[in-house]
Structure 1
Amino acid sequence: MPRLKLMLPEGADFTTRLDVRVTDLNYGNHLANQALLGMLHEARLRFLTHLNHTELGNTTQPGIILADVEIQFRREAFLGDQLNITLFVDQLSHIGFDLYYRVSHAIDQTEIALAKTSIVFFDYHTTRKRAPAPASFEHALKELKEKNEKIREQ
């Protein structure tokens, strides 16, 4: 059976740290798949907040909605493990973008999982339909990428 193979872009736009909680464990006593999806959601929310945007948007700015998700599990994570979740935006278009995630142990950088979500801008407040990417999001993302590039060059 062919396995999913995610190819993550180089670099990082944002990194956050989350702890594996007891409620994140499954019957195998390791990080559960639905809990990992929740952690990706939390990391995405922190990333959007960093860019001064929200998932739900408001009356003047669209939010986002997930179109699909892919997750490739690499290793187990256990109760108390601190995980770094690194995000990278790719394929920004007039209606959405792909968001890649690398989940790794904070201590030794061992990869736990790779993931990708396809995100579409969405108007939750009036039309409840797909919406164009807000210029403010594109501007904030461009500034973030330029800042991160300068840091990598140092």
Structure 2
Amino acid sequence: MARIKIDMPENYSFTTEIPVRISDINYAGHLSNDSVLSIVHEARLRYLNSHNYTEQDIEGSGIIMTDSVIVYKAESFYGDLIQIDITVGDFNKYGCDIYYLLSNKKTAVEIAHVKTGIVFFDYTEGKVVTVPEGFKDRIIKVV
């Protein structure tokens, strides 16, 4: 079976830290795969908030996650502090990709490479819309 690879960016425009909670641990005693998605969701909200956005209001549009990819690099355990570095790229007409580099804050060991695809969405009309120019301009200036 072919391995999935994510071409991770060299530079990131935002960093946050999230501790591994006991509820994030699976039966094998390490960070569970569903918790990785929850952690990047929290990190994405913090990233958007740093630009005064929410998932429901980015220049008047909301977002929907269209896909996600996780490539695991190392285990993480209860009590670890995960550093999440985030950047945005690969813009298209309707969306972009968000990249997340998860590392152990103490040891700098990479835990996971994550990419989520998003599209912009008008919840009132119930349809996909183009990337708001204000968002694109703001994000590209930071990256």
Give me the TM-score of the superposition, normalised by structure 1: 0.88
Partner of 1:51: 51
| Of 24-33 and 1-10, the range deviating more from structure 2 | 1-10
Whether the 8 Å contact between 1:95 and 1:130 is mirrored in structure 2 is: yes
Structure 1 runs (4+) greater than 3 angstroms displaced: none
1:57–1:123 contact (8 Å) kept in structure 2: no
| CA–CA separation in structure 2 for the residues paired with 1:100 and 1:143 | 17
- CA distance in 1 between partners of 2:45 and 2:32 (Å): 20
- Distance in 1, Cα, partners of 2:67 & 2:142: 25
Structure 1 equivalent of residue 128 of structure 2:
130
**What's the TM-score, normalizing by structure 2?**
0.94
The Cα offsets for residues 67-125 of structure 1, whole Å up to 9 and x where unpaired, read as 1000001111000000001111111233110111110000121000001111101112x
Percent identity reads 41
Which residue is 1:61 aligned to? 60
Structure 1: give runs of 5+ residues left out of the alignment. 146-154
| Secondary structure in structure 2 of the residue aligned to 1:7 | coil
CA RMSD of aligned residues (A): 1.3
The structural deviation recorded for 1:52 is: 1.6
Secondary structure in structure 2 of the residue aligned to 1:130: strand
Question: More helix by proportion, 1 or 2?
Answer: 1
Aligned partner of residue 136 in structure 2, secondary structure: helix
3-state SS in 1 of match to 2:78: coil
Looking at structure 2, the residues matched to 70 and 142 of structure 1 have their Cα atoms a distance apart, in angstroms, of 23
Amino acid at match of 1:70: V
Aligned AA (2:88): V
Alpha-carbon distance in 1 for matches of 2:119, 2:60? 13
Correspondence list, 1:1-154, <5 A: 1-57=1-57, 61-124=60-123, 126-145=124-143
The answer to which structure has the higher strand fraction is: 2
Matched residue SS, 2:128: coil
Question: What is the distance in 2 between the residues matched to 1:27 and 1:136?
Answer: 44
